[in-house]
Structure 1
Amino acid sequence: MGNFSLDPGQLARCAELRDLARRHLAPLAEKGEPGRVNRPLVAELGRLGLLERLFTSGALDLCLMRESLAQVSTEAETALALQGLGAHPVHAYGTRAQRTRWLPEVRAGRAVAAFALTEPGAGSDAAALALRATATDIAPLEGRGELRDQPRRDPHPPPPPQSWLLNGEKTWISNAPEADFYTVFARTGAPGTRAGGVTAFLVPADRPGLTGTPLDMLSPHPIGTLAFDDVPVTTDDVLGEPGGGFRVAMNTLNLFRPSVGAFALGMAQAALDATLAHTARREAFGGPLKDLQTVAHQVADMALRVESARLMVYAAASAYDEGADGVPRRAAMAKLLATETAQHVVDTAVQLHGARALRRGHLLEHLYREVRAPRIYEGASEVQRAVIARELYKEAAP
């Protein structure tokens, strides 16, 4: 494992990303409509080659991208991350036909992806999915006689593709209902089989029976519900293997959980930078705020927490890239520490700025709204603690 100090090339790429975000992405983000997919922003991410990097980079580079973008534009960061989260299962587990059809469109920013795991009764308990995939029969073709000069039929033809009908609901799905395709996790096994009975499907948005409804959320990006009413899928739509969907979901989350921490770090760093500037120039009690010991100590504590969380995020991402042991535990620790840290740092920054930070349009007002959600999605903080404890006991077992 490395010492997690970034080399000059990595530092230069981070600075370049922040510059691209300021010049190209933030202006498009400001023109977006809250609660709607900002397709010009997604297309610009594609034009700049950032979406391509989602599929050619490791976990550490993903973290650096998300942290750098989040320091300048949380909307741009989120648009990038959601493309990665929704399309990574296709990249990692998809068939050649699935990858050929969808990944070039995702890379170019022409197709919007979504990761559809959460349900009304299965949020933190991802193995408790209720969306059903009920197997159906495909009737064989009949009434076609053979002509004598035709080649003989294969006595052992490949079996026809298995088909299912999806019925149920997904909720709190980012980019729903506006995505072009969804990575959907459904129960194909018998009730009670939990993780082993889940299959991942690639479901295009135009499948019959698939509808969606937007939800009015605090987040500026779209979040909605999806309703499945006899939505047809076949083995051609399966990602990975039938019954292997829980593995697809968990491996995707193990990759993206540290980078959720990186997103939080970007927001925390932006809040810290704003606080340093504000307390250096704001006059109170006969001098700048930074000369007050109580303020200086709070700023020092903010910086300490941010740097500590950053080291853990980089360590978890490097462990993933190196195939090291303990990736689920490290990923959970990174997400937990970084998101909880960001919440504290942004809240402290608001306190040190006073009422001006709560005015609509202020950077900290924006961060104060944005920083709350990462403590919930992709596994709430309580779930991360459960994962950490489970993995620790597993590692300690003789």
Structure 2
Amino acid sequence: MPRSKKGKRGSGKSGGRNGVKGESGASDDDLASEAMSHYSSASENALVLEDGTGEAVDELTALEETEDKLRQCIDDLTDKSAKMRQAALESLRLVFSSRVLYDFLTERRITLTDCLERCLKKGGGEEQAAAATLFVLLCVQLGGGDEAEECFKMIRPLFSAILIDGGANVSARQSDLVRSMSQLEGVFMSSYPNREGALPASKPGHPALCSAALQAWALLVTLCPVSRLAVLLDLHLPKLQACLESSDVNYRIVVGETIALLVELGRDIDEDFEVEDSDGLCVSLKGLATDSNKHRAKNDRRKQRSVFREVLHYIENEDFQEEKIRFGVEGIYIDGWMRRLVYDAFKDLLESGVRHHLQFNSLLRDIFGLGAPLILDAGVKVNKISRFEKHLFNSAAFKARTKLRNKVRDKRADVM
């Protein structure tokens, strides 16, 4: 099926499924308080942000008390009680996702990494999954420098061992997806059709594991050199198209989004790139975009139709529904499948804290081309910025966005 004339990117309305709508507006202090309150229910150590009269304590005292409780959480990761360790992991996860703690964690990164390694080795499936998630958050907190790389090298062998161990807990394997592309392929390719073209029978927990592996693999694909990318497109696009017939709705959606990403990357390196059997692909996508099967849950049908309408529209017209994510006086544009994939990965990890990290976390700001964190007067409000200032900001954001996309393309250039 020939592609129609190239559409204008960003022609859709902003504020889609990954936009601001639907994200929590809870403040950072609320999230930290919630985390410590959660922890206190198990450890009987509550974080108190008010004095005995109910009046708020000063910010410095609150920070000191927060750090004291964080130290206690880290100590409790070595407790004999699995319940205590699990509570500590959950409390640390909530705080790590809602605040930037670079200085505090830099001094304790080795200790914390050792504790998480112990949880991964000796804990049950839920504890392993929680420890893996917390380790990813630790790397996000430490940024893209030597500290994060040092911690990653310490724990990567253990992650790899869990991922390739077919007998390991499914929940743990699903969370431990920080490893090479070949290992990830070994997981999700088990969902590919056999020689007769039939999809394998689905085992409990297997679609979720394949979804997580495919999403992690897709992130790494965006950094591949052009020569390697061409091989991956030829190998995986036909097989992924067959996986659109999977019985699991969430896996079908991940497959559809991955197909759109691969097509976008293919078009980035070759304007005339076409999908093999594009007619068959569009027929499959159209069927999923209009699916009204009453045997499926209503919410699943709605979600599936929404995603596959976007995928079909992009495959046919190369038109992507642009979104703008606002935080403070800044914002980032989601103008393609690659950028959406990266943003969604951080949003899934950081949840309602993603805006805070976009404002203050150097790693996220570097990835999205935002530069150093802005330092604004506390009295500055978004609605007090003049229209001219907004125009200047939007112009600068557009230039930064274009520069970042070109930079990413350059990173995928062949290196001899």
What TM-score range do you get, normalising by the shorter chain?
Answer: under 0.3
Using CA pairs below 8 Å that are at least 6 residues apart, which structure has the higher relative contact order? 2
Please, what TM-score do these two structures have when normalized by structure 2? Answer: 0.24
Instruction: Give the number of the structure whose residues are more often strand, by fraction.
Output: 1
